[in-house]
Amino acid sequence: SFLGFSVVSAADPLPSWNDGKTKQSVIAFVEKVTKEGSPEFVPADRRIATFDNDGTLWAEQPLYFQLIYAIDKVKEMAPQHPEWKKKEPFASIIRGDTGKALAGGKPALIQLLAATHSGMTGEEFQGSVRKWLATARHPVTNKLYTEMVYQPMLELLSYLRANGFKTFIVSGGGIDFLRAFAEDTYGIPPEQVVGSSLKARYEVRDGKPVIVKLPEVNLIDDKAGKPVGIYQHIGRRPIFAAGNSDGDFEMLQWTTAGGGPRFGLLVHHTDPKREWAYDRDSPIGRLDKALEAAPKEGWTVVDMKDDWKVIFPWGNR
């Protein structure tokens, strides 16, 4: 190119993606559905794109960040709960033995979440999450958790929005937790965040109306719960869905089984040096069934090592 820079790359909407089949398939899809008059044109109001969060938009190792929040919160709340010293999973967390706390499995997890995610108002909870996100540091990179986002995925979100897509998060994570940072971090407003949720109650406390988070599950927005969450919140089928684990299988299946052009994207964690490498055997972000299904279903698999020039906005770990 003339004078040593490329006019094409200056206009590249996905500069952190390496040239190749993956990037080309994303761009070809967007160009096809936005080309007026073409048989595959999709009107802007139907350009719904849904993104998983953990492992798709931000990292999820060594533990889901929301779980790290809950653990930090237990430590912070411990002085007000002397009874926790003799009660699992709290006792192990207070002693600093996270492994033992989580060995209690789902019942332990539910106790942990009930203690740290309910009983307060929605505004109090979000305030607590925002405060944590402003200062807590990732145990491996020492970055803020909101810096642990994938630069190529931020570019993909912007690229889709620039082409008339409405972007949503559809995550197994807690809806209130996500809403505390999704707008600043991803440009996704609260009303475009779908997540797991607790039931809530409206009440007037000391003359002031509040929403109180109850210790009772409303929706588990994971696996078959994802299409249900999409149906309840969005009310129409996405034409584009991105995930990274078997928890996204049904969302991708539901999305790509619709008529007309559809796109399913799986982020495969293949880079042990710059991020982490894991799939079939990982307790976090297990990717097995969906990876197996991808070629047959026509889903595009992102190979993080080969397809992404850079992982995080600040570089690589």
47 binds, among Ca ion, its own copies, none (CB under 5 to 8 A by kind): none
Q: Which amino acid is residue 291, in one-letter code?
A: L
54 binds, among Ca ion, its own copies, none (CB under 5 to 8 A by kind): Ca ion
Q: Tell me if 220 contacts its own copies by CB under 8 A.
A: no
245 binds, among its own copies, Ca ion, none (CB under 5 to 8 A by kind): Ca ion
Q: Tell me if 193 contacts its own copies by CB under 8 A.
A: yes
In terms of Cα–Cα distance, which of 110, 106, 101 is closest to 174? Answer: 110
CB-count burial class (<10 Å; 0-12, 13-18, 19+) for 296: exposed
Instruction: Work out how close the CB of 285 gets to its own copies at its nearest, in angstroms, rounded to a whole number.
Output: 21
Q: Tell me if 190 contacts its own copies by CB under 8 A.
A: yes
119: which 2 tokens?
């009983």
65: which 2 tokens?
């960040």
State which of positions 166-185 bind its own copies (CB under 8 A).
166, 168, 175-176, 179, 183
Do 154 and 317 meet the contact criterion of CB atoms below 8 Å apart?
no
143 binds, among its own copies, Ca ion, none (CB under 5 to 8 A by kind): none
In terms of Cα–Cα distance, which of 234, 224, 232, 233 is closest to 254? Answer: 224
Q: Tell me if 297 contacts its own copies by CB under 8 A.
A: no
Instruction: Work out how close the CB of 91 gets to its own copies at its nearest, in angstroms, rounded to a whole number.
Output: 34
Site for its own copies (CB under 8 A): which residue of 174, 225, 261, 285? 225
166 binds, among Ca ion, its own copies, none (CB under 5 to 8 A by kind): its own copies
Nearer to Ca ion, 192 or 245 (CB): 245
Q: What gap in Å lies between CA 153 and CA 52, rounded to an integer?
A: 11
Q: Tell me if 128 contacts its own copies by CB under 8 A.
A: no
Q: Tell me if 201 contacts its own copies by CB under 8 A.
A: yes
CB-count burial class (<10 Å; 0-12, 13-18, 19+) for 161: middle
Q: Tell me if 259 contacts its own copies by CB under 8 A.
A: no
**What DSSP string runs through 133-198?**
HHH-B-TTT--BGGG-B-HHHHHHHHHHHHTTPEEEEEEEEEHHHHHTTHHHHHS--GGGEEEEEE
Site for its own copies (CB under 8 A): which residue of 253, 276, 290, 300? 253
260-285 exposure pattern, b = at least 16 Cβ within 10 A, e = fewer: ebbbbbbbbbbbeebbbebbeebeeb
238 binds, among Ca ion, its own copies, none (CB under 5 to 8 A by kind): none
Q: Tell me if 43 contacts its own copies by CB under 8 A.
A: no
Residue given tokens 């440009």 in the structure block: 187
Q: Tell me if 42 contacts its own copies by CB under 8 A.
A: no
179: which 2 tokens?
């809403």
Instruction: Work out how close the CB of 282 gets to its own copies at its nearest, in angstroms, rounded to a whole number.
Output: 24
Site for its own copies (CB under 8 A): which residue of 80, 86, 202, 295? 202
Residue numbers of the site for its own copies (CB under 8 A)?
45, 48, 122, 166, 168, 175-176, 179, 183, 189-193, 197, 200-204, 208-209, 211, 218, 224-228, 231-236, 250, 253-254, 257
